[in-house]
Amino acid sequence: MEPLRIGILGAARIAGRAIVEPAKLTGARLVAVAARDTGRAEAFAAEHGVERVHASYQQLLDDPEIEAIYNPLANGLHGPWNLRALAAGKHVLTEKPSTSNASEAREVRDAVHSSGQVFMEAFHYAYHPVMRRLQELVSKGELGDLQTVETTMVMPPPPDDDPRWSLPLAGGAVMDVGCYALHAQRMFAPYAGGAPTLISARAGERKRLPGVDEWLNADLEFPNGATGVVRTSMAAEDVEFSLKVVGSRGEAFAPFYVLPQKDDRVIVTTNEDTWVEHLGTKTSYTYQLEAFTGAIRNGAPLLTDADDALATMELIDACYVAAGMAPRPVSAI
């Protein structure tokens, strides 16, 4: 298969593990990088073996050799630059959440459909065997009838000047870590009669940052009567990125489902026994890039396409509204 030719928008920290390492493992080419600070882009290119540097994001999008872009910019810049990349005829792998709100997600979804380009939102965990095994335990009835899905995404606070606290850049706990917890709930829709509905949400603002959520908890309900419990925070003492699925005959627990390369355990407890399964430490980001490449080269379907991104953003917006807060504003480029 011809190596995928990738351009990177921005020299973000996450790009090293999210695209550079997977590119090396899959044989993809890192054709170019652009950043607001050209010196930073040059340093990134030298460190990671990127072939060339462009002076601007738009210049990168205009590069005819690049066929796909990876967008790890601040949350509020995902939507605008995803739209520009699609207009430039590029396939898009965008960090989550792919837009600032559902209205913008609908605009991107429509642009994807009209352009025919491949679009993937980077919920990388969804492509790892840990998540696939959790779904399999439910789909095959090994845990009995699905009763509850519990997703927890909490972490210590970033520095006060971190963009993840910026309302104009679509910041907040839900947008940074909570989106994983909400998306993971939706991953069980096929086994619960359909997508979950929001029942209630509660949130707390970051001190001196009106409108920016420091934490948010939500309760969901699936059509079959199963419940969903979401807990997310960027003000916790420790990191917990866990997922528990409870059925009528047992439960399964993944202690680090979002980054299974750090802990690949699925702990299963039934009425008869308890055991631990190890699903492998190949990175979820590598599985993600393999899926993205397969969609471009072979037309393989994606779990996290533009339609899925819109449904997730609709749930995120609903949580903000139910908690008495406003959805994130669309950012200007």
Q: What would the pLDDT profile of 124-147 be if each residue is shown by its tens digit? A: 999 999 999 999 999 999 999 999
Coil, strand or helix at 102: helix
Relative to beta strand 68-71, strand 5-9 is parallel
Q: Please check the confidence at residue 333 and state whether its pLDDT lies above 80.
A: no
pLDDT at 316: 98
Local confidence band at 172 (pLDDT 50, 70, 90 cut-offs):
very high
C-beta of residue 7 within 8 angstroms of C-beta of residue 31: yes
- Superfamily of domain covering 129-281: Dihydrodipicolinate Reductase; domain 2 (3.30.360.10)
- What DSSP state is assigned to residue 95? P
Q: Please check the confidence at residue 36 and state whether its pLDDT lies above 70.
A: yes
Which H/E stretch holds residue 179?
helix 179-186
Structural domain boundaries in the chain: 5-123+287-304, 129-281
pLDDT at 1: 79
Q: Is 96 a catalytic residue?
A: yes
Distance CA 263, CA 11 (A): 27
Domain range 5-123+287-304, its CATH number among 3.10.180.10, 1.10.468.10, 3.40.50.720, 3.40.50.10490: 3.40.50.720
Closest CA to 216 of 253, 179, 252: 179
Which of the residues 96, 140, 244, 262 is marked catalytic? 96
pLDDT (tens digit per residue) in 17-33? 999 999 999 999 999 99
- What angle do helix axes 102-115 and 75-87 make, rounded to 10 degrees? 20
pLDDT at 318: 98
pLDDT at 128: 98
